[in-house]
Structure 1
Amino acid sequence: MSTKSPTQSSARTGTSATRSVPASSALSQNGFSQNGLSQNGLRQCLRVAGGGTLGFIISQLMGWNYGVFFTVFPMFLLGLVPVLNGSIIRQFLSNVSLNVLEVSLVVGLLKHMPVVMTLVVLGLFLLRFNLMAKGPLFLFGANGVLTLSILLHFASYPSVDLSDLLASNLMASVLAVFIAMLMYTLFPDREPRQPPPRGSKSTAQIRHETLIGGITATLSFVVFQVLDLRGSLSAQMATILILFTLGYFGAQVSAAKRAVGTLLGCNLALVMQLALYTQSHHFVLVILLYWLGLMLFAREHILEGGGSGIGFGGLTTMGILFGQSLGPQQDLVYSALYRFSSMSIALIGTLSVMICLHYLLNRWEPTRLLEK
């Protein structure tokens, strides 16, 4: 790749680029200035919008199933990580390979034993959140939690072709890496990104973050299974994304921003459908409006500091709505309203679980957070 600046920065800092992922303020180093976007921030906006649009175009032209994977994965890789290096790529691709193996074994062997399957899922989530809490492999853990949650949920339905689901996920992940490499080639950073200061965590804090994340993610999986919420992908993703803050208080802020971002994304998608109306068969018009929408939310995402906030909520909402096809025959009004209402209920439920776990874990010395 010709992305000289990020490569040089990551080469000097080893895996520090990977360690920077947990801190939202570090996710978009040099992304904004007092007067707005910096050169690096503008180029990251172009990468996020361009990558998300290219994934959408390819999935639509090829007619692949599970278009959401192809629209959201490039946003995840380009939006939540401000650099692209060998460590980032290895984490991203090794995670998807492991996910395919895990889902195949868990669903294939334990589908008829829901209690045992739930315990195994809990173990997988705890392992991922432990990696996230420790820092260096945050991307591996975060991508694993999000993807594993979605794959396990959909794979449990008898009508779903498991091989098609896993193949689409694998293809979308590999394509996302190539799209990211292309975007960094076309829009490289102008200045090297500075590595953030490394924080230290106590063993009790790591245990606290691991347990609160793993247990909440498992309960989310169980609820979506029991209630048969197959069409609530936005809500399911929202319950996982707010866990990336690794704590209840951070999740509160993230949930509020996520709700606002989803509402704005739904409204913008509705406006776009009204603008297109019966012209949605003009693919160029759809692409243009989609890219403009992604640019708008990408800018907000960078100005927020690069975490899972309003901007990223709008980005993923647009990706989900467009990834599941946009046309005059589709009732996007119902789809958007359903997504926002289900996501709001899911976020309230997730925060309720997290606050209970937060206070329970603080009553036990090995998982007690130090008061600041």
Structure 2
Amino acid sequence: MSTEQSAGSELTSSEQRRLLRIALGSSAGFFVCKVMNWPYGVFFTVFPMLLLGMLPVFNSLIAWQFVMGTVVNVLELYILHRFFMPYPLAMTLATFFIFTVHFYFMAKGKHYLLWASGLVTLSALLHFGSYPGAGIGDMMVATMLASVTAVASAAILYWLIPETGTPPAPPEHTVTFTQIRHRTLLGASLATLSFVVFQMLDLRDSLSAQVATILVLFPLTFQGSLTSAVKRAKGVSIGCALAILVQITMYDLISHLTLVVLALFLTVMLTARLHLIERAGSGMGFGALTTIGILFGQYMQPDADILYSSLYRFSSVVVALTLLMLCAYALHRFLNHFAATRDTTV
């Protein structure tokens, strides 16, 4: 058996190159953000994880979708904030409409990366931008800078660490109209519910939990989301444990950027390897990987207590995902009562 065909706990040569790209891309985004003193470092750290971790290839079409997804998000945020923010009911309905558009194209399989990556970004932007005092202009600029930085670093890394083989073709995407309606309504309703609950309870410090409630909806089916939620919770616990270990190990050295970047690189290598070994898309490893990105990008600072942040992140994610899955089960059963929105896919 060739190296490219090996399985189990060993990475193929292609996956080893992909592992290096994920770690270097995330570290580079984090480093550039800190050196330039740009806000919202979470985008600079997580965007390369999404771009390099979700897909095994990179080309001009993928780059275009990723950047255009961010452009769409900026426009969506501006419209929501400019016209709907003062009116809670109108804001909720407008948010539901926008989520519906995203999930509709995801369910159809049309430019999936554009609408899926945009969904994560939009959720984070709404989370940050809906509270008083949020710098919407700074947020839009930082998001665009993070997107361009992620695409540029991906292009450079694919040039420095090229692929030697041909990646497998993606599976054919065939769904019926009733499945598209079911998955669109299921995803949009749950994403909107997540947004509303986080606003009503003023959970402005629960970015990990809000992002988790969006990522687990990517399978577009109840059973797929349930499996993803369980793996996500396990991944968050691993990511939080690693972040706490880094905080304890570095102690008062946390102010040295070079050491923090090195620590990020090593922890991303560990979690990205778990993600690649799973070969399961958004599984436990990807949950650990993005948790590291959120904790480092948003909370790893000399005056921050990442121990409390990590423990709070884990508990909030578990509670949020448990409640979300209960609502998903009820809505899934409700939609299956009608022939026009029935989806028996597990």
Aligned counterpart, 2:100:
126
Structure 1: tracts of 5 or more residues without a match? 1-29
Alpha-carbon offset, residue 102 of structure 1: 1.4
CA displacement at 1:323 relative to structure 2 = 0.9
Partner of residue 176, structure 1: 150
Distance 1:168 1:327, change over 3 A: closer
**TM-score normalised over the length of structure 2:** 0.95
- 2: CA distance, partners of 1:287 / 1:306: 28
Q: Which residue of 2 is the match for residue 273 of structure 1?
A: 247
Q: Counterpart of 1:233 in structure 2: which amino acid? A: L
CA distance in 1, matches of 2:96, 2:284: 29
8 A contact 1:273–1:328 mirrored in 2: no
- Greater shift, 91-100 or 121-130, is seen at 91-100
> What SS does the aligned partner of 2:258 have?
helix
Q: For residue 61 of structure 1, what is the aligned residue in structure 2?
A: 35
Aligned AA for 2:282? Answer: S
> What displacement does 1:328 show?
5.2
**For residue 318 of structure 1, what is the amino acid of its counterpart?**
I
Residue in 1 aligned with 2:223?
Answer: 249
Are the aligned partners of 1:91 and 1:139 in contact in 2 as well (CA < 8 Å)? yes
Residue of structure 2 equivalent to 1:216: 190
| Structure 1 residue matching 2:217: 3-state secondary structure | helix
Confirm or deny: 8 A CA contact 2:24 2:265 kept in the other structure: yes
Confirm or deny that 1:343 pairs with 2:317. Answer: yes
CA distance in 1, matches of 2:165, 2:45: 28
- Quote the offset at 1:97 in angstroms: 1.0
Q: How far apart are 1:330 and its partner, in Å? A: 2.0
Distance 1:35 1:252 in 2: 25
Which residue is equivalent to 1:109? 83
Q: Deviations over 1:196-218 (max 9, x none)?
A: 33131111111111110010000
Amino acid at match of 2:209: A
> Of the candidates 133, 154, 166, which is equivalent to residue 192 of structure 1?
166
Contact 1:46 1:295 in 2 (8 A): yes
Aligned-pair identity in percent equals: 46
Alignment gaps of 5+ in structure 2 = none
Mapped partners of 1:64, 1:276: distance in 2: 24
Letter in 2 for 1:342: S
1:309 maps to a residue whose letter is: G
Contact 2:67 2:147 in 1 (8 A): yes
Determine if contact 2:42/2:294 at 8 Å carries over to the other structure.
yes
CA 288–31 in structure 1, closer or farther in 2 if over 3 Å, else same: farther
1:101 is displaced (CA, Å) by 1.3
- For 1:1-372, what aligned pairs fall within 5 Å after superposition? 33-34=7-8, 36-327=10-301, 329-370=303-344
Q: Distance in 2 between matches of 1:278 and 1:327?
A: 11
The separation in 2 between residues aligned to 1:224 and 1:291, in whole angstroms, is 31
Cα offset for 1:365? 0.3
SS at match of 2:132: coil
Shift of residue 41 of structure 1? 0.7
Displacement after TM superposition at 1:325 (Å) = 4.4
TM-score (norm 1): 0.89
* Mapped partners of 2:72, 2:212: distance in 1: 23
CA offset digits 1:207-244 (Å, max 9, x no partner): 11111001000000111111111100000000000000
Per-residue deviation at 1:326? 2.5
C-alpha RMSD of the superposition: 1.5
CA distance in 2: counterparts of 1:186 and 1:238, whole angstroms:
32
